[in-house]
Structure formats: structure tokens, C-alpha cells
Amino acid sequence: MARWLKRGMDAGEIKVADAKVRETVEAILGQVEDQKDAAIRELSKKFDNWEPKDFRLTPSEIEKTISQIVKRDLEDIKFAQAQVRNFAQKQRESMHDLEVETLPGVVLGHRHIPVNAIGLLRAGRALSDGCLGAYVNRHRQSRRREAHCRVCAALQGGAASSHCRRHAFRRRR
């Protein structure tokens, strides 16, 4: 006879939990949008207990960090990024603007407009001024993989820049 070790939440509990997560994420995004780097500093301290003097990585800090990655892991990261970039490029090539005159003088269509920038703050929604956000928790491996997909794909798709900082990464093109 089957014995349940753990039961999942029912639909009502899931809905309440999802609403709570959405509310929390929206509050964090609003805080970052309003307070910029001050909010990033506060959130880094709150969630990761981490307060560096400067969140912007210097080229030497980047190289030092990369040199500490096990060779096989670095190869895996480069492989994953190449796969994401390649697929994103193929997607971009398949996306064409469309303009059709359905009746005399009636023109319908759509355009594909890349986001202005990609920054890492966890919620895949457009932020003001055309930025796409993705938060990456430094303690969760799955979130790190998500960063490859979000950032590499956005840059390959035509984003003007990515923001690579230790917490909200910023890299200028």
C-alpha cells in the first residue's frame, strides 16, 4: 500500500504562494528602480550577507575570479554560452518585421525591437526604459545557468548592453 511521505500544496495554496512571490519580486524591482545601486547594496546585505566596497568588478578581479574556476567547469560554461548564443542567433535570424496592406490604406504589421539593456535581477519582466531583468542568487546553481540563457540570448538578440556587476552585472559594449 502506498504511503505519502510528502504531499504538494493544493491549488489554493499555490495561488497564495505565487501571489506572495510576485508581490515580493515587484517590491524588490520597484526598490531597485527607485533607489538604484543603494537598493542593490541593501538587498545584497539582506539576502546574501555580502557588502563589498564596490560592486563593479575591475578587469583584474574578473581575471582572478575566472582563474579560480576549475578548467572543466570553465569549458562547460563556455560551451553552454556558445550553445545559447548560437540558438539565440538562429532565433533572431528567423524573426522578421512584417508589414501588410490588408485593404487600400490599411497597413498592419509588427516590428521586433531589442531591449536596451539586460541586467541581472531575478524576474523576467521588462523594466522601465526597455531593460530586461534577471536576478541571479549566487548560492543557487540553477539561477547561474539561467543567467547564461537570459544574458547571452538578449545580447545575441540585439540588446544594446548588459549590466555586469557582482550582483546586478554590468558590462558596457
Q: How far apart are CA 63 and CA 169, in angstroms?
A: 15
The answer to whether position 46 is within a domain reads yes
Asked whether residue 52 is assigned to any structural domain, the reply reads yes
Within-domain flag for 57: yes
C-alpha cell at 99: 508589414
| Residue 7, domain member (yes or no) | no
Contact between residue 171 and residue 161 where contact means Cβ atoms under 8 Å apart? yes
Tell me, yes or no, whether 9 lies in a domain.
no
To the question of pTM greater than 0.75 for the whole model, the response is no
Whether 21 is covered by a domain: the verdict is yes
**Three-state DSSP class for residue 62:** helix
Looking at the chain, the whole-number percentage of residues with pLDDT higher than 90 is 26
What domain range is 61 assigned to? Answer: 14-94+114-171
- Tell me the per-residue pLDDT of 17-39, one tens digit each, with 9 for 90 and over: 889 989 998 999 899 889 988 89
- On the CB side of 149, CA atoms within 13 Å amount to 10
Which residues in the chain come in under a pLDDT of 70?
A: 115-173
The three three-digit cell numbers of residue 81, written as one number: 554560452
- Answer yes or no: is 8 within a domain: no
Domains contained in the chain, number: 1
What's the confidence (pLDDT) of residue 2? 77
In-domain check, residue 104:
no
